[in-house]
Amino acid sequence: MTLVSTKESTKTAHPKSLLSIVASVGGLALFLIIASTLLVSQPIGSTIRGFFYGVDSLAKIDPEFSLGSSVSESNHTVHPFEGLLKRNLTVPENRGPEGFTQHGDKESVKSGGADGNGPVIENNEPPISRNEDELSDSGSAESKNLKPNPPLAKVTQKDDGNSSSFSHTASQENAPLSSTNLQTELKNVESTSSATNSSQSNHVDSGCDLYDGKWIYDSTGPLYTNNSCPVLTQSQNCQGNGRPDKDYENWRWKPSHCNLPRFDAKKFLELMRGKTLAFIGDSVARNQMESMLCILWQVEVPKNRGNRRMQRYYFRSTSTMIVRIWSSWLVHQTPEPFDFAPAGVVKLHLDAPDEHFMDYITDFDVIVLSSGHWFAKQSVYILNNEIVGGQLWWPDNSRKKKIDSIEAFGVSVETALTAMGTHPNYTGLTIVRSFSPDHYEGGAWNTGGSCTGKVQPASEGELVENGFTNIMHEKQVTGFNRAIKKKTNKSKIKLMDITRAFSYRHDGHPGPYRSPDPNKKTTRGPDGRPPPQDCLHWCMPGPVDTWNELVFEIISREFDDTQ
């Protein structure tokens, strides 16, 4: 009796369990349908990325995820992808002495210009669009430095990707933002974005003149920071030395008929695979060499293989070597007495190249050659085994000088380039960087000259013509052209003519921010005299980085032609 009741009870229980299961499955299915609908409208992946990274798109983490315009057509929002992956190494500051110094080289020297009052100089130490309208001339954020008008506005791109703000000059700050003004501002954003995007391409039309153009403001920022480059000379570390402004880091050079690509360190190392690039010259050449190292350092830390005669940095991934050799004048020099010139005064043999770099040129694939400022230093000029002139030295006014320091510079350029162009075993590419302008206004380095307070490129009306710079550039080009006519080997010699373009960059020098000393003078004194300052070398990062973008472009053109 009990058994039968149990069986009946079991038979009755099974249908109830089955109904419970069906109800549970149905409820779960309904939940999944509702949850799926919610997830489609609000993707959880975006929410998670936003929580951990503070962004809502992979394109904001990796630029490779965004191949289109950086300006949203719907709301004109600028997305500043560039630089988010840039390394931010924390390194100790170089603690070099204040002023114009060079690591491991001889003592600092202060000497005058051609008239004895020149600048302070130191001792040893896919295809790009060619549409000219891409950077609109009407209201775009440009420094029309090679045009009559100064920049009217700058575009500041915010990292949150949700807004763009505009910083105006004083004449515009209080102007109401009308509909017309708003359209103009939006064009400014698109113009700068176009410049940034187009500059990412790898090649420029080889027929484009790289040296005719203007400076444009690009808020993308520099290729590195003063804290991400451990080889940056302290006297050029403007931010580390307390300079309060940094817009000078954000102006890019825009050729008139094309766009100069932004430097791509990985592609540069690949282009230079198995090759050596040498910078030869004075402290400004060192300035450029360190800029190149700072840029490349962001993708690979090189191995230092240098010695006292030659700085050498080796990039293992592509077996690329970056070299620097000090050569003050590019010609042979001796301290021994010669004729009526006593010992102790440097004798320059203007018709003999400097053997300190000539002994190595066959090992170099690319040489960046630069000089000029040391012709302001005391020296004796010897030509055809005869004393023909001197700078800040001459024993007797009854003796007539045959050449001055400016003529001597032109002869030195011709001598060095002729030696390189006729060397039977040199087949490399020589890039001659033209004379780098200084910006001591109101006097020379030691007579009250100053570049203090310059915070953006000069407009056409602000440009101060420098007669010394102009004549030095002229003599350099003359020496270059004469050497080209004498060339007999298979090497190539190219002029990188930066002088005119950089005459507008009076904002790019350290000025009084030459050291981290918290007590240094940075303003004029009660007598109106400016503080000691450097208006010759260049801040890093800063305009000097453009020189290496130009070097990259010249190398790309030449190597592509060869291939």
**Dist CA 292 CA 297 (whole Å):** 8
3-class SS at 29? Answer: helix
Residue 61: other Cβ atoms inside 10 A: 15
Answer whether the bond into residue 541 is a cis peptide, omega within 30°: yes
Instruction: Enter the DSSP assignment of 338.
Output: B
**Catalytic annotation on 283?**
yes
Catalytic hit among 283, 370, 405, 556: 283
Instruction: Enter the DSSP assignment of 296.
Output: H
| Radius of gyration of the chain from its Cα atoms, rounded to whole angstroms | 31
Residue listed under structure tokens 């055809």: 384
Distance of CA 440 to the CA centre of its chain: 22
Do the strands 429-433 and 492-496 form a parallel or antiparallel pair, or are they unpaired? parallel
**Catalytic annotation on 534?**
yes
**Dist CA 136 CA 63 (whole Å):** 25
The 10 Å CB-count burial string (b at 16+, else e) for 321-338 is: bbbbbbbbbbbbbeeeeb
Q: Backbone dihedral region of 452: left (phi > 0), alpha (psi from -120 to 50 degrees) or beta?
A: beta
The 10 Å CB-count burial string (b at 16+, else e) for 241-256 is: bebeebebbbbbbbbe
Q: Which amino acid is at 195?
A: A
Do the strands 386-391 and 366-369 form a parallel or antiparallel pair, or are they unpaired? unpaired
Question: Is residue 156 within 8 Å of residue 166, measured between CB atoms?
Answer: yes
CB within 8 Å of 518: residues ≥ 6 apart: 242
Catalytic hit among 332, 373, 439, 537: 537
- Residue 68 tokens read as 């289109």
Helix (H) or strand (E) run with residue 194 in it: helix 179-198
Across-strand partners of 511? 534
CB within 8 Å of 276: residues ≥ 6 apart: 320, 321, 322, 323, 363, 364, 365, 366
Nearest partner of 522 among 238, 233, 170, 122, judged by Cα: 238
Question: Is residue 369 within 8 Å of residue 433, measured between CB atoms?
Answer: yes
Instruction: Enter the DSSP assignment of 244.
Output: S
Catalytic hit among 218, 354, 497, 534: 534
Question: Is residue 462 within 8 Å of residue 400, measured between CB atoms?
Answer: no
Which residues carry out catalysis? 283, 534, 537
